[in-house]
Amino acid sequence: MAEFKIVVGDETGDTRQFDVDGQDANRFIGREIGDEVDGAAVGADGDLTLTGGSDKAGRPMREEVPGVELKELLLEGGVGYKPSRDGERKRVTVRGRQVSEETVQINARVEGSIAAALGEDEPEEADADADDDEE
């Protein structure tokens, strides 16, 4: 049975991580980078747009590689490789753009604020102020 860590971010850079398994995890299998998935799998209102992920060895998913297979690419930069100087290239093993049982982490984006999508009313900073008043 599939188990995933779903990392959901929004436009402001705020992120939340969720562990999903069972029927909620099955919603992601077979989907590709760029596809939309119902946010109810992580308790969010609205849709999640898949933006990437990685497998159990940490190999990143790349949008230009079809399917779920591993592929060795000669990269000049981008997802999976950051060159240290101009013109440097490296052969890197990456995974295809489709989510499979081998995927461990899935990165997703929600439109608007993630706190609003999860139904959180106030930011966490307000909770910290309330704790100070009790002392």
Domain layout of the chain by residue ranges? 3-129
* pLDDT at position 127 over 80: no
The model carries a pTM of 0.81
- Position 74: which residue type? L
Task: Count other C-beta atoms under 10 Å from residue 71's C-beta.
Answer: 15
For residue 134, pLDDT beyond 60? no
Is 115 or 89 the better-scoring residue by pLDDT? 89
CA dist., res. 93 & res. 70, Å (int): 7
Distances, alpha carbon 130 to alpha carbons 3, 64, 126, in Å: 36, 49, 7
Comparing 113 with 58, the larger pLDDT belongs to 58
pLDDT at 125: 57
Contact (Cβ atoms closer than 8 angstroms) between residue 110 and residue 44: yes
Better-scored residue on pLDDT, 113 or 128 = 113
pLDDT in tens, 53-84: 999 999 999 999 999 999 999 999 999 899 99
Average pLDDT over residues 112-124: 73
